[in-house]
Amino acid sequence: QIPLSQCKFTDTKNANSLIFPLFRKRPQSLHGPSPVTTFGPKACMLQNPHTVMHIQDPASQRLTWNKPPKSVLVIKKIQDASLLQPFKELCMFLTEVKDMIVYVEKKVLEDPAISDDENFRAITKKFCTFRDDLDDISNRVDFIICLGGDGTLLYASSLFQESVPPVMAFHLGSLGFLTPFKFDTYQSQVTQIIEGNAAIVLRSRLKVRVLKENWEKKARVDEKGIILTNGDNESSRKAVQYQVLNEVVVDRGPSSYLSNVDLFLDGHLITTVQGDGVIVSTPTGSTAYAVAAGASMIHPNVPAIMITPICPHSLSFRPIVVPAGVELKIMLSCDARNTAWVSFDGRKRQEICHGDSITITTSCFPVPSICFRDPVNDWFESLAQCLHWNVRKKQNYLSSEDEEF
Residues serving a catalytic function are 150
Give the angle 397-401-403 at the CA atoms, nearest 5°.
70
Contacts of 105 (CB under 8 A, 6+ apart): 75, 129, 130, 131, 132
Measure the CA–CA gap between 352 and 367, rounded to whole angstroms. 28
What is the Cα–Cα distance from 385 to 176, expressed in whole angstroms?
A: 9
Residue 263 contacts by C-beta under 8 Å, 6 or more apart in sequence? 269, 270, 271, 272, 273, 278, 307, 328, 329, 330
